[in-house]
């Protein structure tokens, strides 16, 4: 199984899009998306310096556009899983069939502008805490009146909040962690971004999303999201909610992902995945930074992706677990039976109770992918529903 990852803010580098503009149609594509995002993506990706592309209002649409531009040159129909970090979730939502590229770039433009405006209201910032016990680090962050804005894996948690409190945290690092101030405009993924969340919600309400055609992992809790409208709601909420990339990586491991492609500007997420998943068998990774890397990325998809078929086939949707527990299929429901959209096909039993698992489209229960009392993880496929195109 192969996953494609879309990076978030901080991954950008001056001139990183220059080689991509040599591909036919790439510059025209970026100019069209520039009109939607309200920024000059061609200039930002080729000629702008580090300070200019550090501006949140410019960086966010630039990163989403870069990921989508590169993905257009990959056989994405053979990719099973997509995920993005922070604003990268908008790119993943498009690659997973929920948003059109135009909607993703437009929302990235709104998100970037509104988060930049929210940063200007109160002086805030972010600091990375490296090492230490995760529980002690989070407790120390909260004890200083700060927020754990991003948990990027073992030994890397980002604190966010008022600048004076970040200074006190640096003077008294919790759990033996090292504190490194980040060069960002403000406290992203915290309640300080509430005005931006409200503004993004107003625009997102006008979008008609599709339901996912791939497994899309959410930064909110690492789970796979089955419904397009729910994913859009999560994307809006994520402006003020912490990024749980650690849980996304855990789900990648639970799904048995054997290969990963990180879209440009690539390297950050690939490094996190390599370090976090090495204990369970690190996946094969391609960092897609220039068109020269496309051949390696296509080869990886050919070897680890879904086998393509040239025969007319039904359209399949995979129903996945939203939480960890044990699976109980609905009594009397068998492979070959018709199911309707919203029909409960089973439950995931947890310590807190049983969570319903519903079909998200009408079709035929083609195959059980989990069986009675099987332990399941968030995002794990449970059943395959087929419906004719």
CA atoms within 13 A on the CB side of 57: 11
Rounded distance between C-alpha atoms, residue 261 and residue 248, angstroms: 15
Q: Is 347 a catalytic residue?
A: no
Q: Among candidates 95, 114, 115, which has minimal Cα distance to 104?
A: 95
Write down the catalytic residue from 85, 144, 147, 189.
Answer: 189
- How many Å is the maximal CA-CA distance in the chain? 64
Q: What value does the CA radius of gyration of the chain take, rounded to a whole number of Å? A: 21
Q: Is 372 a catalytic residue?
A: no
Query: Which alpha helices (DSSP H) does the chain contain, by range?
Result: 26-37, 41-46, 56-71, 88-95, 101-119, 134-143, 163-171, 194-204, 228-237, 245-255, 268-276, 294-304
CB atoms near residue 291 (< 10 Å): 16
> Tokens 């580098």 identify what position?
13
Rounded distance between C-alpha atoms, residue 349 and residue 347, angstroms: 6
Can you state the percent helix, strand and coil of the chain, rounding each to 5? 40, 25, 35
Write down the catalytic residue from 6, 86, 127, 250.
Answer: 86
Q: Are 175 and 140 in contact (CB under 8 A)?
A: yes
Q: So which residues are the catalytic ones?
A: 86, 189
């Amino acid at each position: 199984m192969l996953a494609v990852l879309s990076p978030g803010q901080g991954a950008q580098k001056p001139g990183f899009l220059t080689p991509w503009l040599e591909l036919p149609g790439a510059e025209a594509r970026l100019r069209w998306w520039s009109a939607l995002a309200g920024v000059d993506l061609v200039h930002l990706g080729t000629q702008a310096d580090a300070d200019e592309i550090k501006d949140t209002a410019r960086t966010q649409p630039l990163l989403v556009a870069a990921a989508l531009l590169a993905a257009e040159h990959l056989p994405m129909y053979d990719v099973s899983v997509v995920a993005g970090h922070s604003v990268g979730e908008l790119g993943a939502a498009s690659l997973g069939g929920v948003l059109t590229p135009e909607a993703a770039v437009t929302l990235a433009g709104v998100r970037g502008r509104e988060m930049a405006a929210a940063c200007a209201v109160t002086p805030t910032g972010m600091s990375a805490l490296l090492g230490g016990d995760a529980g002690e680090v989070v407790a120390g962050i909260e004890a200083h009146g700060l927020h754990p804005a991003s948990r990027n894996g073992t030994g890397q948690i980002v604190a966010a909040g008022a600048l004076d409190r970040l200074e006190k945290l640096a003077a008294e690092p919790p759990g033996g962690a090292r504190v490194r101030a980040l060069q960002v405009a403000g406290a992203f993924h915290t309640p300080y971004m509430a005005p931006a969340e409200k503004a993004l919600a107003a625009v997102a309400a006008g979008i008609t999303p599709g339901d996912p055609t791939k497994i899309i992992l959410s930064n909110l809790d690492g789970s796979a999201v089955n419904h397009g409208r729910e994913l859009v709601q999560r994307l809006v909420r994520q402006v003020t909610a912490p990024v749980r990339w650690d849980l996304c990586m855990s789900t990648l491991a639970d799904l048995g992902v054997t290969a990963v492609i990180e879209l440009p500007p690539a390297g950050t997420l690939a490094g996190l995945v390599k370090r976090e998943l090495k204990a369970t068998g690190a996946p094969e990774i391609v960092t897609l930074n220039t068109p020269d890397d496309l051949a390696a990325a296509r080869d990886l998809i050919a070897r680890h992706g879904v086998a393509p078929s040239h025969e007319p086939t039904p359209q399949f949707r995979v129903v996945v677990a939203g939480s960890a527990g044990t699976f109980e299929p609905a009594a009397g429901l068998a492979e070959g039976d018709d199911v309707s959209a919203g029909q409960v096909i089973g439950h995931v039993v947890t310590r807190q109770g049983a969570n319903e698992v519903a079909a998200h489209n009408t079709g035929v229960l083609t195959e059980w992918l989990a069986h009675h009392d099987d332990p399941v993880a968030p995002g794990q496929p449970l059943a395959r529903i087929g419906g004719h195109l």
